[in-house]
Each structure stands twice: as C-alpha cells, then as structure tokens.
Amino acid sequence: MISINTNKRVIGVTFDASGTASAVLWAPKAKQVELLIPGKDKIVSLVCKELGYWTVETSDLQPGDLYYFELDGKKQLPDPASLSQPDDVHGASQALDLSSFAWNDASWQQFPLKDYIIYEIHIGTFTPEGTFAAAEEKLDYLIELGITAIEIMPVAQFPGNRNWGYDGVYPFCVQHSYGGARGLQSLVNACHNKGLAVILDVVYNHVGPEGNHLEAFGPYFTEKYHTPWGNAINFDDAWCDGVRRFFIENALMWFRDFHIDALRMDAVHAIKDFNPTHILQEIRQNVDLLMQQTGRKHYLIVELDLNDTRFINPINKAGYGMDAQWIDEFHHALRVASGQERTGYYSDFDGVRSLAKSYRDAYVYDGAFSEHRKKFFGMKTENAGEQFVVFSQNHDHIGNRMLGERTSQLVSFEMQKLLAGAVMVSPYLPMLFMGEEYGEKSPFLYFVSHTDPELAEEVRKGRKQEFEAFHMEGEAPDPLSEETFDRSKLQWESVEQEPHQTLLNYYKELISIRKSQPPLCALNREELSVEHDTESQVVVLRRRHGAQEIICLMNFSSQEQPVDISVDASPWYKLLGSSDPKWGGAQEMPAQVTRGSALALSPESITLYANQYE
C-alpha cells in the first residue's frame, strides 16, 4: 500500500503557515524539471527525489501567481495537479492556498446514508448564471422540497465553458467558469449551514481528450487495456504507483479541503486494475484513515454496470468497501413498466415483472441469462437497502437520448406521479434529477465546447453511432452549439405555473411521507414483500417496520384496475393517492379501507395505505 499523508495534500503546489510554497511533481522519466513563474520572470529548479518525484520549496511563488512546469527544457505545461486554470485547459496554472478559506461549518453533522434523499444537479444548467454562487440561492428551495443531499455532476476543469463534466482534464482543478475552488468551498459551506450534505461526482476511469497533458509527465495510461475513451488509466502497469497516488490524493482532497461528504465515482466498471489491492479498496483504506483523524464521516458511492457485490462488500469480506452503488436496472425496469420503448439495453427488461424483482432483489439480473449481453449475468445480493441508489431519471438516461427528452416529455402527468412514487417507496436511496420535481419541459442535451475541430467532429460522429444502436432516426442537436447548452437550462419560471406547481407540491408530500413513515425510511429489505400481475400491470408492494405496515398500490396500465389488498379487519388509512383531485387527478381514493373493501385503482396511479399512523 502506498504511504499517503492524509493530513494534507502533497502533490502539486501547497503553502505552509509562513507562505512558503512547496511544489511536488511526479515525472519519473524526466531529466530536468523547472518551475516557471512568468509574471515574475522567475525560473526555479526542482530536485529529483525517489520514485520520480521532483520537489522544491520557494518563496518566489505566491497564491494567485501563474506558473508552468517545464520538462527537459522543452514545452511549458500546466501542473497536472493544478488547482486553478483561469485561462482554460491550455493556459498557465494558478497557485492557490486552499487552507485560507474561512469555514464555519464545524457544527455540521453528516447524515446516516439511509437518510440521503439525493438531488442531482449540473452547475452550468441548474441556474441561468451557471455558477456555484447562483446554486447557493436555490438551497432553501431544495430544503423545502425535502432534499437532504445534493449531488454535483463533475466540476474538474474542462475545455471551454460548456460540458457535462466527464471530459475534465485536471482532476484537482475546479471549473473556473463555475466559480473555481473558492466558489465550490462556499457552496459546500452554505449547504452544511443549511443542513444539506454534498456529493461530488468524480471521474477516475478516464481523462478527457482536449488539454490532457498527463502523458507528457509520466505513464498515466497503459496500452494493456482499452476503454471507450482509449487507453486505460494506468492503475496496475509499470510506474502505476505514482498514478494511484495521484487519484488517492484527489479523493482525500475533496473530503479534507472542500468538506465534501460523499464521492460518486463514475463508471468504475471501466477501471482496469488487477493489483492484489484494487484502487477502490486503497481509496477506501485511506479515506478510513482520514475519518479517524478528523472525526468526519465520508461515503464512497459508485456508478457500476456490473451486478457484482465485490464492489460494495466491506474489505473484511473481500470487498472493495464502497458504501453504495447506482443500480440502473431499477431505472430500466421502471421505464419499461411505464410503457416506454424497449430498445437497446432496455430490451432485457419485462416491465412490472422486472420492477417487482428489483424491489425484492435489487439486481434484476442476478445470475440469469441476459439476451442483450448474450450471457448469464450478475449475482445475488443480500446487501442492505441503503447500499443502492435508484431513480426514475438521471443525466445519462435523459442526455443520452438523441433529443434529450425528460420523462415529462415522454409520459403523462399521471405517470410522472406514479414514477416518483415508485422510487420513493423503494427500500433504496432515492435520487431526483434537477427539475423533475416540477416536470421541467426543457431537454437535457449532451453538450461540449471543444476547440479542436477534428475532436469536435469525432464527438458528432460518436453520438450518431450511439443512437444507431437504439434505432433512432434524424439528426441530434449539435453538442458543440451554445444553443444546445442554453436549451438545457432549467426554466425556473415554470415552477409557479400549473401543472408544475401541483407536481412540486406532490413531490414535497411524497418525500415527507418517505421521511416520516418508519416502514419507508428504515430500508429493511427483509421486511418487504411484492406481488405483480403482468396482465393488469399492477404491482403491490408491502413495507413493514415493527407493527406498522404500508401497502403501495401501483397501476402502470392505462385502464382502471380492481385490486384485492388482503388487509386485516382493522382500518387502513390513506397516506397518499396520486389520482386524488388535490394532485391533479380525476379519482379520489377512499380515505380508509378494511377487509372486504373493493378498490379500483385509477390508471397510472399509486396509492399508499398504512395500518396505523406514526
């Protein structure tokens, strides 16, 4: 295991209490390294230490100064561990002292993971201004909605001002156009003072193409493995220790210097590592050390396209120790149940049958044959409900559609309410995508601002090929166009209009019920039963906690459906009926039901009854 100082960041430029700068650069094949400070016309030579690390301490470099590294007297390059790129990805790095931010969140208490109700945002399109400061102005809105944690899509510096964030090329650097490091620190501080946890999306499986100078410094990539983005990041080939340290230090920096509460690690199935200690496990071990030192709790959540419990099992059970994972399979099953098309990977899912299985077993494919993959896939899981994140939509499943349609553009108003309810009554961690709570109509399209014409054309061609797999015809909006980006911004004025306001109030009520009713917030997968009827398209989910039980009646069909809920003789009380007129529906469900009550479920509806109030 690499020896890491979890107390402070070591690589890159740091400052001590006296203001002296320390510069540490990993360049194992370089013969000479110099630090250039153009604003002061200064050149400072670094000394090579063990394992290819070059270091120097100097008072010539101060916070705010621009600088480059020069290797072997050749091209001047920004710092791979740069904290600021005010002149975009090709310009000079800017020295920052992260410790100078005046935090006042000492009283913040991290939520237990089971209490996370997550709201995913893209900083550039969440507000008209597209900045961290503007996002701060929306925090009270999120608190009133009932959100407990925001998840910020990647903010590592990317080329230009428009990008989803997955083309970042400086993992330590916060996007300058969003407000940079200070802007993110301020947003996290504000969140904590208002009672919100912060999850940051990070990308450790690839680095973006434009402005990626890492290979000039060292063997950051390996030809041993290939990924959708080219050669894999070098986590297990020659000189991999420097690369591993780079990303371990990155994870620690977000927790320690930005007070981030959890990381969501993008597509970890694309990380190639056959070391005895997987890089995720090593990140877990170092984060555990940091938590022991600071007393703060931090979570590691992964996006994972493998139904493999190794990733979320604890280290003492031969796992990698991740706290939770996204499960797309719940989303796929829910989407097909709602009547949307079964193309591409959705073809593997069978509507309410698959949804019922996901409620019960988390993974839909837990060893069964996948026709789409043409192989047996997945494994069974007994992991706790809080280890799975579910959603009815997210940035990928909207933005990877050719026209970027949100669920509000694909299904009826009644189905939107049903989908929201289906997520909130699950025994898993619920996540919303920004704007879904009021039925945002603007698309969320794929957008970038690459300046290299050849790269831009490759992006356009790649998008076209991707849509061919889903048998889509027509032309996708140009991802390089600023208009595509502007169309993806939330239209906040619609919140005050109907039916958006009714839907927003429905979400508030739904989240409140989720948080206040023990059977729904306990996330106990053992105290759950589910039945489904493929003909009527009805799913009956029961959640229990002690003596209290909640029955969730979901009708995914477009017709009214009778249902026998087999309740006991005592009255059951309605907690919510999505078809009630107060939520814009056409049928008021009974306030109470008892044994023998005849219930007819409205089309595309969810109704919740409890055997007792809490």
Q: Give catalytic residue positions.
A: 266, 303
Q: At what angle do helices 328-337 and 413-424 cross, to 10 degrees?
A: 150
Contact 170, 13 (CB under 8 A): no
- Sorted by sequence, the CB contacts under 8 Å of residue 569 that are 6+ apart come out as 594, 595
Cα separation, 92 vs 100, in Å, equals 22
DSSP class of residue 264? E
Helices (H), 367-445: 395-399, 413-424
Q: Per the omega criterion (within 30 degrees of 0), is the bond before 499 cis? A: yes
Most distant CA pair in the chain, distance: 87
Element (H, E) at 341: none
- Sorted by sequence, the CB contacts under 8 Å of residue 433 that are 6+ apart come out as 120, 391, 393, 394, 395, 398, 406, 444
Cα separation, 419 vs 394, in Å, equals 13
Helix/strand/coil for 585? coil
Helices (H), 34-131: 123-126
Q: Give the residues across from 25 on adjacent strands.
A: 54
Q: What share of the chain is helix, strand, coil (3-state, %, to 5)?
A: 30, 25, 45
Residues 330-343 as b or e (16 or more Cβ within 10 Å = b): bbbbbbbbbbbeee
Q: Which two tokens stand for residue 98?
A: 């992260």
Element (H, E) at 313: none
- Sorted by sequence, the CB contacts under 8 Å of residue 443 that are 6+ apart come out as 398, 403, 404, 405, 406, 409, 487, 488
Sole residue written with tokens 């007070």: 259
Cα separation, 23 vs 12, in Å, equals 6
C-alpha distances (whole Å) from 23 to each of 3, 58, 171, 431 are 19, 8, 17, 40
Sole residue written with tokens 């020659």: 238
Neighbouring CB atoms inside 10 A of 289's CB total 15
